[in-house]
Amino acid sequence: MFFALRPGYHQEYEGQRVLWKGTAEQGPDIGSGAPADATPETRVYSRTGFSPSPEVTSEPGSSVQSRSGEVRRRIMKEVLTNWAGNVRFSARELHRPGSVPELQRLVAGSPRARALGTGHAFSRIADSPGALISVAGLPKIIEIDAGRPGVTVSAGLTYGELAPELHKRGYALRNLASLPHISVAGACATATHGSGNLLGNLATAVNRVEMVTAEGDLLSLSREDSGGEFGGAVVALGSLGILTSLCLDVVPAFDLRQHVYDDVPLDQVTARLDEIFASAYSVSLFTDWRRPVIRQVWLKILAGEQDPPDADPGWHGGAPADGPRHPVPGLPPAATTDQLGARGPWHQRLPHFRLGFKPSAGSELQSEYLLPRELARAALEAIAQISDSVAAVLQICEIRTVAADELWLSPSYRQDTVGLHFTWVDDARAVQGALAMVERQLAPLRPRPHWGKLFAIGPETLDECYDRLPDFRRLMRRYDPSGKFSNDFIDSCIGTVS
């Protein structure tokens, strides 16, 4: 999982819960973590509740064992953070149920709860004032329905786990994100995406969801049977319930080749954006805004289609890469998927990064804004006007396209979009200033932020950008009338249930 453990006063465990009790000196920047007067007290689950257990002993970071020697859970006296370390979770409890009935009992008995995925969100979307619940411990499911065709998967499964199994059985997903490390449920709930003019975000593959609702009931909603309401239940930001499984559309497995071109002049790109983004199955542009060039263009081309010409001066003024590239200048390319036109299966070409390596830059913050695709040139020109300020705190900017969909809270709801993704340096204060500049520049173009990334756009503007927010609030009131799955992020961006 992406979430990290850092020194402090929180504990992670598997299958049990840990409460806070006592006093301790508060560590630095712990305000959103444990209470200032907190020390952990281990409590052991039983069918009758939670109680201190004199028969369990442990050291921080060690397996907790009963006197019989049976391993009960692993305890770590740490602060729980997201992968980037910029979010310290404030939840008092962390659970990892091992079955759906256990999850149902847990949700029914918790006054406040949120699902925790792989921790790759940079916003506070996953935090909870009550309990965090990881579904990674649920039984792993990959069930193919060849008649549909579709695949039912457990919510905690990652794309890195799912994709190779699908490929072995002759199937594929139409698209993947740049990282295979993320969970299916978390990616779909936030409309995470890859790139491709004709490819929707990952949530567009979902045709059925199963979730545990606030009362602990198991609810199934499908694209066919739920009418227009299904459009609000997929990209739901974890606010309607905790997903247990999803059914995804699949297609026959396919192969791709990946080519990279260096230093394509920015004026060539802005003049031919439509042509460039239509030139391959998936296209990504990378720039650090330090020079008026797109430093790298990544083309993921279907194996049966013709490769672009390799002649220098090259493709749209760029030169074919003479070796593998990492999107972030200066980083070694070993972590990236094969390039140089080598043919390979879809799940080894669509992501930018290999599963076995640390994804992206590692020490970073991220934000992304999606805009109507016809405004792509205006968006690039707007950022170019502040390029020096952006470049000062930027590692890399990726520009991608996403097809329109019918998912209410998707940034691509009923509009083909272009996404400007910023991988920033790991400096929260500097990035906060950069976000303000970027959002001012893009404001006339009505950008929609990625829910799992950092942004400063206020609720009034979000209301203007998302026409179906009132409908989604009605869904929240129906499925979660007490606000069990809400948090400060949801209350601020979407609104309170009451």
Residues 27, 99: one domain?
A: yes
The C-alpha R_g of the chain, in whole angstroms, comes to 23
Measured CA to CA in angstroms, residue 396 lies from 272, 392, 425 at distances of: 22, 11, 9
Alpha-carbon span 456 to 447, nearest angstrom: 12
Q: What is the pTM of this model?
A: 0.84
Classify residue 457: in a domain, yes or no.
no
Residues 259, 115: one domain?
A: no
Q: Enumerate residues 6+ apart whose C-beta is below 8 A from 190.
A: 121, 125, 235, 237, 450, 451, 452
Structure tokens at 67: 């006197």
Query: pLDDT tens for residues 174-196?
Result: 999 999 999 999 999 999 999 99
Residues 283, 419: one domain?
A: yes
Give pLDDT, residue 459: 93
Q: Where among 409, 424, 451 does a domain terminate? A: 451
Residues 100, 212: one domain?
A: no
Classify residue 462: in a domain, yes or no.
no
Which CATH number fits the domain that encloses residue 275? 3.30.70.2520
Q: Where among 253, 283, 308 does a domain terminate? A: 253
Residues 128, 188: one domain?
A: no
Give pLDDT, residue 423: 96
Residues 153, 302: one domain?
A: no
Q: What is the DSSP string of 130-178?
A: SEEEE-TTSPP-EEEETTTTEEEEETT-BHHHHHHHHHHTTEE-S---S
Q: Tokens 């602990």 — which residue?
A: 216
Residues 168, 186: one domain?
A: yes
Which CATH number fits the domain that encloses residue 73? 3.30.43.10
Cα–Cα nearest to 118, from 182, 180, 202, 184: 182
Tally of domains in the chain = 3
Residues 183, 102: one domain?
A: no
Alpha-carbon span 236 to 229, nearest angstrom: 11
Classify residue 493: in a domain, yes or no.
no
Classify residue 463: in a domain, yes or no.
no
Residues 325, 229: one domain?
A: no
Residues 97, 152: one domain?
A: no
Structure tokens at 55: 């028969």
Give pLDDT, residue 50: 23
Residue 425: left if φ>0, alpha if ψ -120 to 50, beta else—which one?
beta
Residues 345, 240: one domain?
A: no
Query: pLDDT tens for residues 392-448?
Result: 999 999 999 999 999 999 999 999 999 999 999 999 999 999 999 999 999 999 999
Classify residue 181: in a domain, yes or no.
yes
Classify residue 192: in a domain, yes or no.
yes
Classify residue 90: in a domain, yes or no.
yes
Classify residue 10: in a domain, yes or no.
yes
Q: Are the C-beta atoms of residues 208 and 230 closer than 8 Å to each other?
A: no
Give pLDDT, residue 281: 96
Instruction: Report residues of the chain scoring pLDDT below 70.
Output: 1-78, 307-314, 358-362, 498
Give pLDDT, residue 37: 36
Residues 416, 291: one domain?
A: yes
Which CATH number fits the domain that encloses residue 222? 3.30.465.10
Structure tokens at 37: 């007067």
Say how many C-beta atoms besides its own lie within 10 A of residue 134's C-beta.
22
Say how many C-beta atoms besides its own lie within 10 A of residue 49's C-beta.
8
Alpha-carbon span 468 to 50, nearest angstrom: 42
Cα–Cα nearest to 284, from 266, 314, 261, 318: 261
Give pLDDT, residue 78: 62
Q: Where among 223, 253, 283 does a domain terminate? A: 253
Q: In DSSP terms, which residues pair with 365 in a beta bridge?
A: 424
Give pLDDT, residue 20: 27
Domain that holds residue 247: 142-253
